Structure 1
Amino acid sequence: MSVVPTFKVRGLASVLGALNNLEKQSRFGIARAITKTAKATEDALKREMRSKTDRPTPYFLRSTFVQPATRDKLRARVGIKDQAFSKNRLSSAQMFGHHFEGGGRATKVLEQYLRRAGLLGFGEFVAPGAGARLDAYGNMSRGQVQQILSQLRIGPDRAAFKSNSRRSKRNAQRAGRIFWARGNARDGHLKRGAYIDMGPPVGLRPLLVVIRSPSYKRRFDLPQLAATTIAKTWKDNLNASLIEAFNSAK
């Protein structure tokens, strides 16, 4: 009859605890490295957004996001914000998605009002005309957009545009009379769009020109940019993050 020897190991609980802590710190370090790499990708994207865009707006440059990795979810995301912060404003992904995927752009808020009023058809858009006031970023100024909405009476609150007071008429006359040309004889066969009549000696100036759906080529290749950044930074980020994680272990 053989006897099976038995052993009693002391301190096993502390060993298992140390191994468990080692796993936790490893995952913490890996998550930190993933997040660092994702932020490096976002930084590289912002540099391209500045260099490849003519006078990019602060709103455009703030449109990116990084969703950090966690110890339980070893994955990070870099992208364009897809949440609209007001019912009248498109999300960043809707406004700028054509820069990342190519194709047509989304309908702007002004164009939405023009369509609701029957002034624009399906597949039609508008571009600033020669008489438009542009801001520092090459877009039509907000003040002039409001003038167009007000004088065409197509804004979010049409009742607010129905004032016939002397003050309203005087303000409109001073700013210039804005009207929509439908491209017929009644409008003097002007091309379709919004015009402002400044009176002599300036006369008529085009504010909005009707165009067909513009098509864009992809300007930013985010997957390729991420792959390049990962190849350059991942190894160093991982080594540094693991060292930080183990040094911070209690």
Structure 2
Amino acid sequence: MFSLTINADSAPLYREISDLRNKQIPFALVLTQTRLAKDWVKPGMLKVMRQRLDRPTPTTMNSLFVQSATKARPAKVYFKDAWTTGIPADTYLQQAVQGGQRPHKRFEKSLIAQGLMKSGQFALPAKDLLNQYGNVSRGTMIRILSGLGAAESGRGHQANATGSKRSQRKGNANRYFVGSVEGSQGVWERKASAFGDAVRPVFIYSDGAPGYRVIFPFFKVAENIVKAHEQAVFTAALGQAIATARS
């Protein structure tokens, strides 16, 4: 009986292949990170966001970006941290990702700055003020702040309601007020009807910060996706790296 045994130390061809394989591992690792980020982590994150977040806006869904890996830096999946206007997603998603109490929003800071709300209070919007995404639109908040004389002004632009005819036509200066109605303190809107004048709550003040549980465990979701696919993606990437290696 003839037995034939070949091991790595005694096989020149195997050693040559092994050397080629080792040289291509750094490239394969870079390729693996980029593919995991683009083909698995980002799509998986978007799926979880649709499932876990309450009516996420198109802006929120489009805020997730991928940075390809290089030999000097790892791949990165992140929320864009700056926009031309508005609040970036990585700021307003912090409570969904980490849980806990939320900080004051820009609207609330404006009310506090003008002495219209105490520093320890928070403004909770009335349900009929919310849009299809469960938020108060920026235009609505500016209109309310303008009527209260608490809107931000800049570059020569005056956003607050005034006594001018144009401003009076809009009616915001008389439309909104801060006060206590039937024991509830907040921002109110005057409404005229055929049955007489009435008021409705726009924002009700709370003496404590709203609390949030973790509903979108961003980092845990990403880790699980990577663990589930990294071996297969690396194997394919290494095969490609070896196949395309320069002789």
In structure 2, which of residues 184, 187, 199 is the aligned counterpart of residue 191 of structure 1? 184
**1:96, CA displacement in angstroms?**
1.0
Cα distance in 1 between the residues matched to 2:211 and 2:161: 37
**1:23, CA displacement in angstroms?**
5.5
In structure 1, which of residues 223, 229, 241 is the aligned counterpart of residue 219 of structure 2? 223
**1:124 corresponds to which letter in structure 2?**
Q
Name the structure 1 match of 2:136: 140
CA RMSD of aligned residues (A): 2.9
Name the structure 2 match of 1:50: 50
Moved over 6 A (4+): none
Deviation readout 1:31-50 (Å, 9 max, x if unpaired): 11112223312221211110
Change (3 A) 1:85 1:27: same
Name the structure 1 match of 2:28: 29
Whether contact under 8 Å (1:100, 1:218) holds in the other structure is: yes
Count residues with an aligned counterpart: 224
- TM-score w.r.t. the length of structure 2 is 0.78
Name the structure 2 match of 1:169: 168
In structure 2, which of residues 193, 202, 205 is the aligned counterpart of residue 210 of structure 1? 205
Which secondary structure state, in structure 2, belongs to the residue aligned with residue 179 of structure 1?
strand
In structure 2, which of residues 105, 109, 114 is the aligned counterpart of residue 108 of structure 1? 105
- TM-score w.r.t. the length of structure 1 is 0.77
Name the structure 1 match of 2:60: 60
Deviation readout 1:6-49 (Å, 9 max, x if unpaired): xxxxxxxxxx9xx6x86564312211111222331222121111
Change (3 A) 1:118 1:24: farther
Deviation readout 1:56-108 (Å, 9 max, x if unpaired): 112222333333321233x3333434x3335x744322211111111012322
Summarize the alignment of residues 82-101 of structure 1 with structure 2, pairs less than 5 Å apart: 83-85=81-83, 89-101=86-98
Name the structure 2 match of 1:154: 150
**2:166 corresponds to which letter in structure 1?**
R
In structure 2, which of residues 118, 124, 128 is the aligned counterpart of residue 127 of structure 1? 124
Cα distance in 2 between the residues matched to 1:243 and 1:214: 52
In structure 2, which of residues 212, 233, 246 is the aligned counterpart of residue 237 of structure 1? 233
**2:191 corresponds to which letter in structure 1?**
M
Cα distance in 2 between the residues matched to 1:153 and 1:55: 32
Change (3 A) 1:24 1:150: farther
Q: Show structure 1 runs of 5+ residues with no match.
A: 1-15
Cα distance in 1 between the residues matched to 2:91 and 2:210: 15
Change (3 A) 1:216 1:170: same
Q: Show structure 2 runs of 5+ residues with no match.
A: 1-15
Deviation readout 1:211-240 (Å, 9 max, x if unpaired): 220111111223332232122211111111
Change (3 A) 1:243 1:226: same
**2:224 corresponds to which letter in structure 1?**
T
Name the structure 1 match of 2:4: none
**1:195, CA displacement in angstroms?**
0.9
Cα distance in 2 between the residues matched to 1:205 and 1:226: 44
